[in-house]
Structure 1
């Protein structure tokens, strides 16, 4: 596999681990920080869980809006780094937000990272490989989506107690992982393979 496969795969590792933690820990995190409860049987916790659906919708809207902006950048790497850093800010901000509506800002920013994750890795990779090998490499590249989530899921239960047992700290960790992903973009060297007919 070309070097680009492995370096973009490293970025993917950090990003998909971060989003696994978001999907897993957002309900408990905002129940604690916004509704002030960790009691999973309480009405407030259920309300928080319902609100997560709204927040994930806001994230999707942010993703669509940012997807319109991404092509305006000449450098894939520049917009990749910017997108991941915006997402990191969204993740980390959840630690400080106590208003359910202010969380819209956090999840709009997270949507920026999501848009970049869905588009840029495959764009950078397909530019670097020839038509002859593209199907094989793209198939293998899907492993850079599932492997990090498997690792994150396996380690999450061990990490949570180390972070004080507060689920919002797992979202902060997700932000840190996105920063690591943004830094890893610096290792990616964009190449353009000669395409075969």
Structure 2
């Protein structure tokens, strides 16, 4: 079916829900390690505590992709029911996670939060391929990236902003500050409202052949065997993109899990206070702990704000791509390659910059982030069967979550440990990984994936 070209505002409306999704991811990515450290986690424990995020993605996304491919409602469409369910569950989890009284409860909330976000996110990727003609695919994925950048920047600055408005950064031992609690509550509200906006402003195309769709849906095939069969028969281009994704997401998982301990320690010189170093029954020790803890919480706000810059620069990068791809086609392969290399340099520079210069590192990282959120999906959407777009988008998520699982169960600690004990070495590992991802783009040779223009 030849699809009509959509206007800017139609594409904006169908992408707007990603604002809320990114509020959830930015708050999770920027501040879960801070919550874990506040509740007593050591920096070497943090990657493993993060394993919930990739594991839930590995399980949830292929299943949701499979289910949404086989869903159709005259009122709600194919993908929108999953947006809504995920948004409700995510908002509840976002609100309550900073109230966790213990480390294991916080880790449990991360499982719930990430699974819920994934329920909403995967169908959004498939919606672009469902709604847009081939010639607008890059434009659509870049529009999502623009909105993601806005969400990342605002959400990453929320704890700093509410702190500036007078909400306290101080808290007792093992208690998350009120500034973080208020920020997560705002994020929960934005998540739900933005998803509702897309649900009620966007329509979906019905299946091209409704009779065939109903026959396929009525088949009794196990979705597990269906997913396994499609994994075994994935296109070559998808496998090659998987190599790029592996090193890209290893780098970004390292940033999300380790940036707070690495940068508060190396750049701000305010590491998280260790409880065993203080006797809270002695007034002098309690006062010293309060001073050290408040300094750590404030530098964590600053790290979060600096990380927000990568959302801002990814937004600017995406805006340039939106303006360009609305009229012309691009070479996705080379755009992605150079973007990833720039991000890798941003990570490496963290070893030598001062706190006031940290934002420049994240500007470079933001360029790579903007490309990661658009170019691989644009290349993939030109390489797979449109009838199985949701499933393949879910399967493609394996190349996102497997490197994160490897990083969480010891990959980060092992590789960064080869460079020394300092937490900043994790950022060096992230930089090297992202540069490898950049050069891996030479693997992509499919002309349709590289540029739509070359395929027609």
Instruction: Tell me the TM-score normalized by structure 2.
Output: 0.40
Moved more, 143-152 or 160-169: 160-169
Quote the offset at 1:139 in angstroms.
1.7
Instruction: Check if 1:35 corresponds to 2:252.
Output: no
Moved more, 2-11 or 130-139: 130-139
Kindly provide the CA deviation profile for residues 103-150 of structure 1, in whole angstroms up to 9, marking residues without a partner as x: 111111111111111101110011112323323211211111111111
Instruction: Check if 1:163 corresponds to 2:419.
Output: yes
The structure showing larger relative contact order (alpha-carbon pairs under 8 Å, at least 6 residues apart) is: 1
The answer (yes or no) to whether the contact 1:87–1:113 under 8 Å persists in 2 is yes
Instruction: For 2:364 and 2:273, locate their aligned partners in 1 and report how far apart those are by CA, in whole Å.
Output: 28
- Partner SS state of residue 164, structure 1: coil
Moved more, 134-143 or 107-116: 134-143
Partner residue of 2:379 out of 119, 124, 139: 124
The answer (yes or no) to whether the contact 2:247–2:403 under 8 Å persists in 1 is yes
Match of 1:109? 364
Kindly provide the CA deviation profile for residues 25-66 of structure 1, in whole angstroms up to 9, marking residues without a partner as x: 111222232222445352433332111210121111011011
The answer (yes or no) to whether the contact 1:129–1:192 under 8 Å persists in 2 is no
The answer (yes or no) to whether the contact 1:38–1:45 under 8 Å persists in 2 is yes
The answer (yes or no) to whether the contact 1:18–1:175 under 8 Å persists in 2 is yes
Partner residue of 1:19 out of 252, 256, 265: 252
Instruction: Check if 1:179 corresponds to 2:430.
Output: no
Quote the offset at 1:160 in angstroms.
3.5
Match of 2:52? none
Kindly provide the CA deviation profile for residues 8-31 of structure 1, in whole angstroms up to 9, marking residues without a partner as x: 011000000000111111112222
The alpha-carbon distance between structure 1 residues 103 and 68, as it changes in their structure 2 partners (threshold 3 A), is same
The answer (yes or no) to whether the contact 2:270–2:299 under 8 Å persists in 1 is no
Instruction: Tell me the TM-score normalized by structure 1.
Output: 0.89
Q: Which residues of structure 1 form unaligned runs of 5+?
A: none
The answer (yes or no) to whether the contact 1:40–1:46 under 8 Å persists in 2 is no
Larger Rg, first or second structure (1 or 2): 2
Q: Which residues of structure 2 form unaligned runs of 5+?
A: 1-233, 275-291, 450-456
Match of 2:186? none
The answer (yes or no) to whether the contact 1:10–1:184 under 8 Å persists in 2 is yes
Kindly provide the CA deviation profile for residues 86-114 of structure 1, in whole angstroms up to 9, marking residues without a partner as x: 1111111101112x221111111111111
Instruction: Check if 1:80 corresponds to 2:331.
Output: no
The answer (yes or no) to whether the contact 2:415–2:429 under 8 Å persists in 1 is no
The answer (yes or no) to whether the contact 2:343–2:367 under 8 Å persists in 1 is yes
The alpha-carbon distance between structure 1 residues 89 and 160, as it changes in their structure 2 partners (threshold 3 A), is closer
Instruction: For 2:256 and 2:362, locate their aligned partners in 1 and report how far apart those are by CA, in whole Å.
Output: 12
Instruction: For 1:40 and 1:14, locate their aligned partners in 2 and report how far apart those are by CA, in whole Å.
Output: 33
| Runs of 4+ residues over 3 Å off in structure 1 | 37-41, 70-73
Match of 2:353? 97
The answer (yes or no) to whether the contact 2:244–2:437 under 8 Å persists in 1 is yes
Match of 1:147? 402
The alpha-carbon distance between structure 1 residues 39 and 139, as it changes in their structure 2 partners (threshold 3 A), is closer
Partner residue of 1:51 out of 302, 311, 320: 302
Aligned length: 192
